[in-house]
Amino acid sequence: MDYNFQEIEKKWQEYWADNGSFKAEESSEKPKYYVLDMFPYPSGAGLHVGHPLGYIASDIVSRYKRHKGFNVLHPMGYDSFGLPAEQYAIQTGQHPAITTEENIKRYRQQLDQIGFSFDWSREVRTSDPNFYKWTQWIFLQLFNSWYDTSADSSKSIDTLVQHFEAKGSEGVNAVTSNEEDFTAEVWNALSDIQKEEILQKYRLAYRAESTVNWCPALGTVLANDEVKDGLSERGGHPVIQKKMMQWSLRITAYAQRLLDGLDEIDWSESLKESQRNWIGRSEGASVHFALKDREDKIEVFTTRPDTIFGVSFMVLAPENPLVDKITTEAYEGSVRKYKEQAAKKSERDRLADVKTVSGQFTGAYAVHPFSGKELPIWIGDYVLASYGTGAVMSVPAHDSRDYAFAKYFDLPILPVVEGGDISKESYDAKEGKVINSDFLNGLDVKEAVAKAIAKIEEEGLGKGKVNFRLRDAIFGRQRYWGEPIPVYYQDGVPHAVKQEHLPLELPQVDAYLPTEDGEPPLARGHKWNYDPEKGVVANGEGYPLEQTTMPGWAGSSWYDLRYMDPFNTDAPVSEKADAYWQNVDLYIGGSEHATGHLLYTRFWHKFLKDQGIISQNEPFKKLINQGMILGTSAFAYRVEGQNKFVSRGLRKDYKTIPVHVDVHMVNASDELDVEAFKAWRDDLAGAEFISENGKFLVGREVEKMSKSKYNVVNPDDIIEQYGADTLRMYEMFLGPLEQSKPWNTAGITGVHGFLKKLTRLYKNGADWNISDEKADEKELKSLHVLIKKVNEDIEAFSFNTSVSAFMICVNELGVMKCNKREILEPLAVLISPFAPHLAEELWAGLGHEGGISAVPFPVHNDEYLAQNSFEYPVAFNGKMRFKEELSLEMGKDAVEKHIMALERTATYLDGKSPKKVIVVPGKIVNIVI
RNA sequence: GCCCUGGUGGUGGAAUUGGUAGACACGCAGGACUUAAAAUCCUGUGAUCAGCAAUGGUCGUGCGGGUUCAAGUCCCGCCCGGGGCACCA
């Protein structure tokens, strides 16, 4: 065999491992380039052909950059804390660390086979105590920080305490849930416990009673991004709302910076848009409405202060604490009933039930700040307690939800913006002239918004305000297999575990379930107390440790930094490593992390930047989302009620049910291996098959790759049959990296054949056959067209088109029977990022030693590309009719003259004289008749 | 509902950003080599009409308009697929 890929690939993989070919240099004169893949969670199922897609693309870039003279950091590791290993542990009693270790071994084996140029010496695992020591350390920095909005930066909590001691809360501009002002005297007189209660409202990692997403089936809380349509993202279990004491991270402090930062990074527009939606900035005003006959006020947030004269009632969320205070005696019963009803509804029901209007009058009235009119106060579950102030001013004429509410309960609808018909629906558009609105009359909506805010501020009724939809991130999980939160409790007050006692390692437990009392699994640890002098001690001594662990995204929020300096024992990353590597130049991974990992990571980096740990604002300069590789399922058509199958073309004649067929039993022409199919399952053994033209054909459909659809293709099988280089090139050839596309094993023969063809340029049978003759013009042109294209394509991440370009060039050289060193040497280097094993083999065959990976990448020479003639398409009224080869040196006029003199031109003119002749040199001739 | 994407042969996809639509590959059809198969190589392959044929005509990039000598590409209005957000005031 002239292309013995199995032997070649094994040989060079060993060579790379033995020579440490891809070790990134600590420091270097070379410019740095950091290419990162989203590290995988090592699941038990192993990789299917969809997983390596992004890794192949990043590997091509890494290898290309090495050829271009960069010091490339291209690491890999494992996001090894997670639910599946824990659930397996619950079922079997096996420690999740063991399962994880086994899965990692399998992953490593699969990854190694594909020939990636990872620097494995820097491997990280989030579940490794040497790694999570620093995850815990970062958590403690967050715990010890508050956010100063005046400086727009986080600061040490000590600075806040000093301020409180000297001046109380006056002059503090912080992101906080604290609403009560106090003086220095009051502060200094507080007990430690009371002080800590207040500080918790400022810390960036804090404990608070908050409504959380509780998943009873998983026995843990979930972050907002882990819940989809009221179900847990993992497992699809129902999620309910529950009030719990929870650790949270104050990501909301960074909302504006997270939003602004998007403008300086090269990410896809759709991804940025997802993050913008998630952060959900809206501008408006907060306005205080006084209550009739009471001291309290209702504060609302509105984005439409211009419609303030259209307010005809107020609505509070049922959970709003004000409700109980203001409800009049006569309505107490019905309000209580409504609240109970609302509390019973799960988030999911509430979402599903958007169309049903419900609410209850409280008996109380607010007073319109400008008109003095009395406004009835209602409660309704369309108002959310967790957004804004949990209260709205209702402008039914210009808000569809308020409109529905007003119609249902027959409340007044007052139009204040011209331009819509409000007899059937509200007019929500922000266009038109304001009417019926006193000092706002005659203004455009935009002007009215500004004027209304100015007036509200002037009268002390409120102020302009920006609101974000982003919520603080719930950080505690009632699980075993995660990073322990390094906190202990003294008199119920949380204290940080000392740095010298980090990592706080997971305790040994006898089972991985929550306890019978519903406490997290860590409560089963027999040695899970803490003494600030001694560290972890047995229960009964010292103080109790926190029992929840960190969520899956904790470790992944900073792992990119650890690769820069994986063995550092003094810091997550050294100043030197940070200064050299800075941040990730190219990050490739799936778009499913848009509002989870990618947002949290940006948050942690901004925080670490504030702390002076790192120098960069953003972790990932450029990000590409690789598309999903879908499966091409195969179906056999079973005749309803019979054990009989009909071929695809005949199924119209029968009533059939499609049955999934394992794609491995179908060939490239969609023919089913009937014998294999019969042997597949007992019930099929006696089946009858009706063929067409002697063939039994299956139907095809594109679906997500999944075991249950029998359409999963394993890379190991592909590598076994065609080799890793073929797999790599075929995955790239399938289509644009960012696009989702179906896998079809049938097409792979094209790429495999190409690699064989390439080999044949260098070899004659088993022997190397290379000539030192000078290359001719045509050969050089073919090569240099390719050099130019490949360079451009890699820079543009358009790998599918470079594979085509390789095919075109190799086809051309094959026809010319070119075996000249002058052509074949650069060709081997060009293809090395794509098919590295074969490239190494060819390079060695050309007589080189020392490997190909650092050989400079070819640069094209324009001289060889220069054309002296061009085949002009000649079009009449824009329709191409014939072509004429002309010298490119001919000017416009000369071309026109030549073309007009042609006999063929005369035929098409058919006696008419052209109105106009357009000549675009080197492009086209168009004759307008 | 709002926001991002995308829509090109039987299939995956190209098209230098306004200049020959369908590169490259799969599949299909035919042929060469072979006892045969595999492998390899060659030819054809958007639809449709006319012709024995070389060839020629018409249509054709989701739909309907428009700009232009020229539109897959630009503009206006729709339709459909994929994704994000969503009683967010």
What pLDDT is attached to residue A44? Answer: 86
Closest nt to residue A277, judged CA to C1': B85
Question: For residues A53 and A790, what is the distance between their CA atoms, to the nearest angstrom?
Answer: 19
Q: Report the nucleotide nearest the CA of residue A471, measured to C1'.
A: B88
Distance in Å from B68's C1' to A419's CA comes to 38
Give the full edge-to-edge strand order of the sheet including A529-531: A535-537, A529-531, A543-544
Strand extents, DSSP E, A7-82:
32-37, 71-73
Q: How many C-beta neighbours within 10 Å does residue A614 have? A: 25
Give A279's contacts (C-beta < 8 A, 6+ positions apart). A255, A258, A259, A468, A469, A470
* Nucleotide nearest A881 (Cα, C1'): B20
Residue-wise pLDDT for A136-145, tens only, equals: 999 999 999 9
Type of residue numbered A533: E
Measured in angstroms, what separates residue A785's CA from nucleotide B46's C1'?
29
Backbone angles phi, psi at A867, to 5 degrees: -110, 145
Q: What percent of chain A clears pLDDT 70, i.e. is strictly above it?
A: 99
What phi-psi label fits residue A106: left (phi over 0), alpha (psi between -120 and 50 degrees) or beta? alpha
A767 CA to B44 C1' in angstroms comes to: 35
> What is the rounded average pLDDT of the residues A589-613?
93
What would the pLDDT profile of A201-218 be if each residue is shown by its tens digit? Answer: 999 999 988 777 788 887
Please state, in angstroms and rounded to a whole number, the distance separating the CA atoms of residues A145 and A153: 10
Q: What pLDDT does residue A348 have? A: 57
Q: What band does A386 get if pLDDT is binned at 50, 70 and 90? A: confident
User: How does pLDDT run across A432-464, given as a tens digit for each residue?
Assistant: 889 999 999 999 888 899 999 999 999 999 989
Measured in angstroms, what separates residue A749's CA from nucleotide B31's C1'? 21
Residue A734: which nucleotide is closest by CA–C1'? B12
A353 nearest nucleotide via C1' and CA: B87
Determine the distance between A517 (CA) and B71 (C1') in angstroms.
71
Query: How many other β-carbons are positioned within 10 Å of the β-carbon of residue A483?
Result: 26
Q: How far is the CA of A407 from the C1' of B45 (A)?
A: 65
Measured in angstroms, what separates residue A595's CA from nucleotide B37's C1'?
56
Asked whether the bond before A503 is cis by omega within 30 degrees of 0, the reply is yes
* A814 nearest nucleotide via C1' and CA: B41
Round and report the angstrom distance from CA (A764) to C1' (B34). 21
Q: What is the DSSP string of A836-884?
A: HHHHHHHHHHTT--S-STTSPPP---HHHH--SEEEEEEEETTEEEEEE
- Report the share of chain A in percent with pLDDT over 90: 60
Which pair of structure tokens corresponds to residue A636?
């056999």
Quote the Cα angle for A417-A393-A333, to 5°.
Answer: 140
**Protein A880 CA to nucleic acid B71 C1', in Å?**
15
Looking at residue A869, what is its pLDDT?
83
Residue nearest to nucleotide B6 (CA to C1'): A739
Closest nucleotide to A926 by C1' from CA: B69
Structure tokens at A13: 């993989």
Distance (Å) from CA A314 to C1' B87? 15
Q: Is the pLDDT of residue A2 over 90?
A: no
Question: Is A420 buried (19+), middle (13-18) or exposed (0-12) by CB count in 10 A?
Answer: middle
Mean confidence (pLDDT) of chain A? 90
User: Among A91-105, A234-248, A288-302, whose mean pLDDT is lowest?
Assistant: A234-248
Q: A418 versus A97: which is more confidently predicted?
A: A97
Q: Which nucleotide is nearest to A398 (CA to C1')?
A: B89
Cα–Cα distance measured from residue A317 to residue A388, given in angstroms and rounded to the nearest whole number? 11
The DSSP H or E segment spanning A347 is: helix A347-352
Confidence bin at A350 (pLDDT 50/70/90): low
- Does residue A494 carry a pLDDT above 90? yes
Closest residue to B42 (CA, C1′): A815
In tens, the pLDDT along A708-725 reads: 888 888 999 999 999 999
Query: Residue A352: pLDDT band by 50, 70, 90 thresholds?
Result: low
Minimum CA–C1' distance nucleotide for A395: B89
Kindly list the strands in the beta sheet with A220-222, ordered across the sheet, starting from the edge strand earlier in the chain.
A220-222, A205-215, A240-249, A473-474
For residue range A527-550, what is the model confidence (pLDDT) as tens digits?
Answer: 999 999 999 999 989 999 999 999
Kindly tell me the burial class for residue A874, based on how many C-beta atoms sit within 10 Å of its own C-beta (0-12, 13-18, 19 or more).
Answer: buried
User: Smallest CA–C1' separation from A750: which nucleotide?
Assistant: B25
Paired with A379 in beta bridges are A316, A360
The three-class DSSP label of residue A145 is strand
Find the nucleotide nearest A806 (Cα to C1′): B24
Lowest mean pLDDT among A26-40, A74-88, A903-917: A903-917
- A756 CA, B30 C1': Å apart: 25
- Asked whether the beta carbons of A338 and A484 are under 8 A apart, the reply is no
Q: Could you give the dihedral angle defined by the CA atoms of residues A762, A766, A772 and A778, in that order, rounded to the nearest 10 degrees? A: -30
- Residue A820 CA distance to nucleotide B61 C1' (Å): 42
Distance CA A536, CA A501 (A): 8
Protein residue nearest nucleotide B26, by CA to C1': A747
Between CA A357 and C1' B5 the distance (Å) reads: 34
Q: In this complex, which residue's CA is closest to the C1' atom of nucleotide B12?
A: A734
Residue A870 makes CB contacts below 8 A (sequence gap 6+) with: A885, A886, A888, A922
For residue A597, is pLDDT > 90? Answer: yes
pLDDT of residue A353: 64
With CA of A284 and C1' of each nucleotide, the nearest comes out as B89
Reading the block at residue A528, the tokens are 């899970």
As a rounded value in angstroms, the CA-to-C1' distance for A798 and B70 is: 28
Residue given tokens 């890494």 in the structure block: A62
Of A98-112, A758-772, A905-919, which gets the smallest average pLDDT?
A905-919
Q: Residue A1: pLDDT above 60?
A: no
Least confident stretch, A236-245, A569-578, A814-823: A236-245
Give strand letter and number of the nucleotide nearest A428 (CA to C1'): B1
The yes-or-no verdict on residue A517 having pLDDT over 90 is no
Does residue A34 register a pLDDT over 90? yes
Which one-letter DSSP state was computed for residue A820? B
Report the nucleotide nearest the CA of residue A739, measured to C1': B6
What Å value separates CA A693 and C1' B41?
28
Note the CA–C1' distance, A842 to B50, in angstroms. Answer: 54
Q: What is the distance in angstroms measured between the alpha-carbon CA of A316 and the sugar C1' of B18?
A: 57
A852 CB neighbour count, 10 Å cutoff: 23
What's the CA A880/C1' B53 distance, rounded, in angstroms?
24
pLDDT score for A212: 77
The C1' atom of B8 and the CA atom of A283 lie apart, in whole Å, by 43
pLDDT at A665 over 70: yes
Q: Which nucleotides of B are covered by protein (CB under 7 A)?
A: 3-5, 11-15, 19-21, 23-28, 39-42, 56-58, 69-71, 82-89
Which nt has its C1' nearest the CA of A301?
Answer: B89
Burial class of residue A832 in the structure, from the number of CB atoms within 10 Å of its CB (0-12 exposed, 13-18 middle, 19+ buried): buried
Q: Which nucleotide is nearest to A924 (CA to C1')?
A: B19
Residue–nucleotide distance: A649 CA to B50 C1' (Å): 32
The predicted model scores a pTM of 0.92
Strand pairing class (A584-589; A535-537)? unpaired
For the segment A150-205, what is each residue's pLDDT rounded down to a tens digit? 999 999 999 999 999 999 999 999 999 888 899 999 999 999 999 999 999 999 99
What pLDDT sits at residue A223?
Answer: 76
Rounded distance, CA A745 to CA A94, Å? 38
Q: Which residue is nearest to nucleotide B1 (CA to C1')?
A: A400
Residue type, A852: I
User: Is A298:A377 a contact under the CB 8 Å cutoff?
Assistant: yes
Assign A696 a pLDDT band (cuts: 50, 70, 90).
confident
For residues A77 and A563, what is the distance between their CA atoms, to the nearest angstrom?
Answer: 9
- Residue closest to sugar C1' of B68 by CA: A878
Least confident range of A123-132, A850-859, A900-909: A900-909
With 80 as the cut, is the pLDDT of residue A318 above it? yes
**Distance B41 C1' – A904 CA (angstroms):** 37
- What average pLDDT does range A248-255 have in this prediction? 95
Name the residue among A586, A558, A583 with its Cα closest to residue A571: A558
Share in percent of chain A as helix, strand, coil (round to 5):
40, 20, 40
